Structure 1
Amino acid sequence: MKLNKNVVVYEPVEIGKDPIIEDFVILGKPPTKAKNNKMKLVVGDFPVIRSGTIIYTGNTIGNHFQTGDNARIREKNRIGNNVSIGAGSIIERDCEIMDNVKIHSSCFIPEYTIIKKNAWIGPSVIMTNVLHPPCPAFKRYAPVKGKKCCHGPIVEENAVVGAGAVILPGIIIGESSLVGAGAVVTKDTPPNCLVAGNPAKVIKKIEEIDCPLGFYKQGEVYSWRKK
């Protein structure tokens, strides 16, 4: 693998076939407090990692991964195939992002978030993971120790989160649901529903949404999400 002189790699790093790695990328960066780092960054085949991206050590990333400029991905995340992380977005540690997820620019995804297959996260979406910040129990009761004090949202398969939405800790965004732009989601959303507002409320079923431009009939607007 041939890299430009201004790309920084902290070993151990394993990258698959035919990577495109642009200028000023940092790969395998250890956390500030890490001592004798033994974690490894693994990235699959055909990645496109754009300028200014920082990917920490301990991540496992699938094939056809892409980032926008200046994306930040902290340690110990599990990221599937065909995932895109937009420019300026931040993925904190210990998240699971499954296949075919698209995260647009300037998003914040906190620790212990789960985003399932085919989900679509619009620009400037903010997800949160602590009920009462800055809570001193944050580290002692993280979900990896069997507690639920600190947990990011769970975005189910085929869900769509519109631009600028805010999702509170531990909220479940239902399968094939749509969160309207600018919504503040304080309760779990049912599947196959449009929710919007502050606080977000169910507006209608997905099959009741019309296309104002007439490209889709009523009931077909989000049929493409399941293809």
Structure 2
Amino acid sequence: MIHQTAIISSNAKIGHNVTIGAFCIIHDDVELADNCVVGSYSELGLTTPLANVKQLTIGKGSIIRSHSVIYIGSIIGEGFSTGHHVTVRENSLIGNFVQLGSRGDIQGDCCIGNYTKMHADVHVGKFSNIGSYVWLFPEVLLTNDPTPPSENLQGVTIGDFAVLAAKVLVLPGVTIQKDTVVAASSVVKTDIPEGMLFSGNPGKVICNANILRCADNPKIKAYPWRKRFHRGYDENDVQQWLNENKQLNMAHKKV
């Protein structure tokens, strides 16, 4: 269903069962796959000379909520979903089932893996590289300019399954390894090794994150979180995580 007030270029490709809301603008060279929903006042394929390719592809079953703007030049996987007033700039490669919270800002030339989830007001600086199954909680800020303003931009790298709690600030060029947990309001100036808990301003490594326990049940280890939290994830992934946990427990018993 396409609202009568929507403006859609004849050069756009619209799949089957797509819903486009009131006062949307769909520019040239936009491809919306089947079963997508675009909320009112959204704009897709906004042109920019910074785009490497003049095409925007959005995968099937994506939900783009009202007042969102996605520039030309990106490839976005299936099951993508946004909150309201989200911006995604050019040359971004976004995997499957990624979630961007309201007022999220992806500044372009970024890579985001599958099933990564961002809450409201997350800013992802240009050249950021974010893995799969990452959690970025409200107001996380990934910066990229060590001597602002400059042309020497250095993106942040975040490994799979990492968790950055609310209001974390990550400085340019920092690498946060797989399974890391960064505590709320921390300032990350240095690389963080895999599986560590990092906290403070200035921040530092505190301990191995697998020491932490769930607040509602101290018998359960909180991290790596994939051993205990499975809502919204593919059944095959969940089964793999459970098998890995089982094998690890068996190895520990043998020792």
User: What is the TM-score of this pair, normalised by structure 1?
Assistant: 0.88
Pairs within 5 Å for 1:80-91: 80-91=95-106
Decide which of 17, 38, 41 is 1:21's aligned counterpart. 38
Decide which of 211, 217, 238 is 1:208's aligned counterpart. 211
Structure 1 residue 2, shift from structure 2 partner:
4.8
Residues 209, 224 of structure 2: 8 Å contact kept:
no
Structure holding more helix per residue: 2
Q: What is the RMSD of the two structures over their aligned residues, measured on CA atoms?
A: 1.8
Q: Are the structure 2 counterparts of residues 38 and 179 from structure 1 closer, same or farther at C-alpha, using a change threshold of 3 Å?
A: closer
Between the aligned partners of 2:144 and 2:177, the Cα distance in structure 1 is 18
Pairs within 5 Å for 1:103-142: 103-135=118-150, 138=151
Q: Are the structure 2 counterparts of residues 221 and 9 from structure 1 closer, same or farther at C-alpha, using a change threshold of 3 Å?
A: same
Decide which of 38, 43, 50 is 2:58's aligned counterpart. 43
State the secondary structure of the residue aligned to 1:207.
Answer: helix
Decide which of 76, 82, 85 is 1:67's aligned counterpart. 82
Q: What residue is the counterpart of 1:55 in the other structure?
A: 70
Residues 92, 110 of structure 1: 8 Å contact kept:
yes
Structure 1 residue 203, shift from structure 2 partner:
1.3
Percent pairwise identity: 31
- Describe the superposition over 1:143-183 as per-residue Cα deviations: whole angstroms up to 9, x where unpaired: xxxxxx31211000110001000000010111100000000
Larger radius of gyration: 2
Q: Are the structure 2 counterparts of residues 64 and 168 from structure 1 closer, same or farther at C-alpha, using a change threshold of 3 Å?
A: same
Residues 19, 37 of structure 2: 8 Å contact kept:
no
Q: Are the structure 2 counterparts of residues 134 and 180 from structure 1 closer, same or farther at C-alpha, using a change threshold of 3 Å?
A: same
Structure 1 residue 223, shift from structure 2 partner:
3.5
Q: What residue is the counterpart of 1:225 in the other structure?
A: 226
Q: Are the structure 2 counterparts of residues 74 and 202 from structure 1 closer, same or farther at C-alpha, using a change threshold of 3 Å?
A: same
Structure 1 residue 102, shift from structure 2 partner:
0.5
Decide which of 197, 200, 205 is 1:197's aligned counterpart. 200
Pairs within 5 Å for 1:141-220: 149-214=152-217, 216-217=219-220, 220=221
Structure 1 residue 37, shift from structure 2 partner:
9.3
- Describe the superposition over 1:92-123 as per-residue Cα deviations: whole angstroms up to 9, x where unpaired: 11000011111111011011000001111111
Between the aligned partners of 1:36 and 1:210, the Cα distance in structure 2 is 45
Does structure 1 residue 8 correspond to structure 2 residue 11?
A: no
Between the aligned partners of 1:179 and 1:36, the Cα distance in structure 2 is 33
Counterpart code for 1:109: V
Counterpart code for 1:161: L
User: What is the TM-score of this pair, normalised by structure 2?
Assistant: 0.79
Counterpart code for 1:93: G
- Describe the superposition over 1:177-219 as per-residue Cα deviations: whole angstroms up to 9, x where unpaired: 00000000000011111100011111111121122321652xx
Between the aligned partners of 2:51 and 2:109, the Cα distance in structure 1 is 20
In the alignment, structure 2 segments of 5+ residues that lack a partner are 1-17, 228-240, 242-255
In the alignment, structure 1 segments of 5+ residues that lack a partner are 139-148
- Describe the superposition over 1:12-53 as per-residue Cα deviations: whole angstroms up to 9, x where unpaired: 10011101111111000012xx39996100001000000010
Residues 52, 91 of structure 2: 8 Å contact kept:
no
State the secondary structure of the residue aligned to 1:169.
Answer: coil
Give the aligned length: 211
Q: Are the structure 2 counterparts of residues 35 and 47 from structure 1 closer, same or farther at C-alpha, using a change threshold of 3 Å?
A: closer
Q: Which has the higher contact order (CA 8 A, sep 6+)?
A: 1
